[in-house]
Amino acid sequence: MQLYTKIMIALIVGVAAGLVANLLDIGSLVAFFVAIGQFGDAWIDLITMVVIPLVVASLVVGTASLGDITKVGRIGGKTVVYYLVTTAIAVSIGLVLSNIFLRGDAGMSAEALEGLRGQYLAEGQSRVAMAEQAPGLVEVLRGIIPRNIVEALANFEMLPILFFSIFFGAALSSVPKETRDPVLRFFDGVNEAAMVMIHWIMALAPYAVFALIAAVIAEFGAEVLGGLLVYSLVVVAGLLLHLIITYGAALRFLAGVKPLDFLKKIRAVQLVAFSTSSSNATLPLTIETAEEEVGISNEVSSFVLPLGATINMDGTALYQAVATMFIATVLVGDLTLAAQFTIVLTATLASIGAAGVPSAGIIILIVVLQQALPPTVDPAAGIALILGVDRILDMCRTALNVTGDLTAAAVVARSEGETLALVQAAGD
């Protein structure tokens, strides 16, 4: 049985088990599923553990074997432009859908509004406190250059790690061959061992997915969706539209692959992103799939994918646009066009600053709320409204985030003259 099929079965059984516990309100079963969620979290740690060795080794080898530093600049330029443009499109899709469907009370009764406010206001306030500590865009950009690479590695700061690895790889390529080769062989060995670790860890994926999903559903259940149904559906519809229209077009016209064939190859990555709610934790599998299933070179994937997991979050940006519109509609009424334009700018930039970890999007959302809503609106009250369904929407947006990264890698690889293995398999 393929890995994808196993994960899919685990997901379905996990949802069903979680629902049974939640809907029948069987306390001990809920507690049991929440407890085995720990196993899922341990598995996330296991796969996250591989991220840094894999990214550093594969980026050093990738850059050193490019031989030409201008190529790094060219790939970097294309990647960043592509990421910004697709994210802005995602936000726009979110805004258009919100203008159509989130009007009036946006499907929320006054009762539901009060209920959510009472239940989540304190948590909303704690998120606002967390947002105050999150670095702003300028700080993120300024922080790209690490003062101390060991510190950056220890703190899992992806952008400084990427910067150092590329710089180091480029320098390595200009060192005499006899000195360079042993170093390259070392990193090559690390890279290959990391890939083997991923294979081993992925064998446990179905069990971890079951544990993760059963815990989330048992704890959050379906009832919380009630008042937030319209909002949640608009987010999910936006994510699907972006997948079908934007990625569909990019894959067909820019990467030259059949979108459905491509999506089939990356299904397991999407499911793991969905189950873990973390682009970072999914990154090792994303890289492995890009290279082994889609046929993207290590040079492109080692650069485009880690960068994407950190700065490219179309799903998050789209969700932030819809969430801001929803909160505005419920708390202050419709937003002007100018305020909506602010959302395009701030959500696009804010999603760059969001880390690829669970719930990063809702913390960065506070920045967007502060920019786009009148100062009289307390962001904590807004966050309180949507917090109940956030974990489930986080799963959906993370799946789109990693799809966006992989699509970008395919587009950039094709633009660098690569023929994707997928193209041959599809007989194009």
Angle at 236 between CA 286 and CA 251, to 5 degrees: 45
For the CB of residue 174, give the shortest distance to ligand ASP in the complex, in Å: 36
E strand or H helix at 51, and its extent?
helix 51-66
Residues in binding contact with ligand ASP, number by CB under 6 A: 16
For the CB of residue 413, give the shortest distance to ligand ASP in the complex, in Å: 22
Stretch that binds ligand ASP, among 15-23, 50-58, 276-284, 410-418 (CB under 6 A): 276-284
Among 356, 382, 388, 404, binds ligand ASP (CB under 6 A): 356
Distance CA(36)–CA(27), nearest Å, equals: 14
Provide the H-helix boundaries in 102-136.
110-133
Distance CA(156)–CA(356), nearest Å, equals: 11
| Residue 394 touching ligand ASP (CB under 6 A) | yes
| Residue 277 touching ligand ASP (CB under 6 A) | yes
Distance CA(354)–CA(397), nearest Å, equals: 13
In the chain, helix, strand, coil percent, each to 5? Answer: 85, 0, 15
Nearer Cβ to ligand ASP, position 22 or 398? 398
Distance CA(153)–CA(285), nearest Å, equals: 20
Q: With contact defined as beta carbons under 8 Å apart, do 109 and 334 qualify?
A: no
For the CB of residue 346, give the shortest distance to ligand ASP in the complex, in Å: 15
Angle between helices 51-66 and 69-101 (to 10 degrees): 130
Nearer Cβ to ligand ASP, position 146 or 356? 356
Nearer Cβ to ligand ASP, position 30 or 364? 364
Among 359, 370, 371, 415, binds ligand ASP (CB under 6 A): 359
For the CB of residue 349, give the shortest distance to ligand ASP in the complex, in Å: 14
CA neighbor of 46 nearest in space, from 191, 216, 194: 194
Stretch that binds ligand ASP, among 18-26, 71-79, 93-101, 277-285 (CB under 6 A): 277-285
| Residue 308 touching ligand ASP (CB under 6 A) | no
Q: Tokens 């990391």 label which residue?
A: 194
For the CB of residue 33, give the shortest distance to ligand ASP in the complex, in Å: 21
Nearer Cβ to ligand ASP, position 191 or 279? 279
Nearer Cβ to ligand ASP, position 188 or 394? 394
| Residue 358 touching ligand ASP (CB under 6 A) | yes
For the CB of residue 183, give the shortest distance to ligand ASP in the complex, in Å: 32
Among 397, 411, 413, 420, binds ligand ASP (CB under 6 A): 397
Nearer Cβ to ligand ASP, position 277 or 346? 277
CA distances (Å), 356 to each of 41, 277, 352, 379, 397, in order?
15, 8, 10, 22, 11
Nearer Cβ to ligand ASP, position 64 or 90? 90
CA neighbor of 231 nearest in space, from 109, 101, 138, 318: 101
| Residue 348 touching ligand ASP (CB under 6 A) | no
- Name, in order, each residue with C-beta under 8 angstroms of 412's C-beta and a sequence gap of 6 or more: 75, 78, 79, 82, 300, 304
Stretch that binds ligand ASP, among 187-195, 284-292, 374-382, 395-403 (CB under 6 A): 395-403
| Residue 361 touching ligand ASP (CB under 6 A) | yes
Q: Tokens 């937030």 label which residue?
A: 228
Stretch that binds ligand ASP, among 33-41, 253-261, 349-357, 419-427 (CB under 6 A): 349-357
| Residue 316 touching ligand ASP (CB under 6 A) | yes
Q: Tokens 């989540």 label which residue?
A: 120
Q: With contact defined as beta carbons under 8 Å apart, do 398 and 278 qualify?
A: yes
Provide the H-helix boundaries in 134-243.
137-142, 149-154, 158-173, 177-203, 205-220, 229-241
| Residue 278 touching ligand ASP (CB under 6 A) | yes
Nearer Cβ to ligand ASP, position 36 or 354? 354
CA neighbor of 356 nearest in space, from 300, 413, 301, 286: 286
Q: Which residues bind ligand ASP (CB under 6 A)?
A: 277-279, 313, 316, 354, 356-361, 394, 397-398, 401
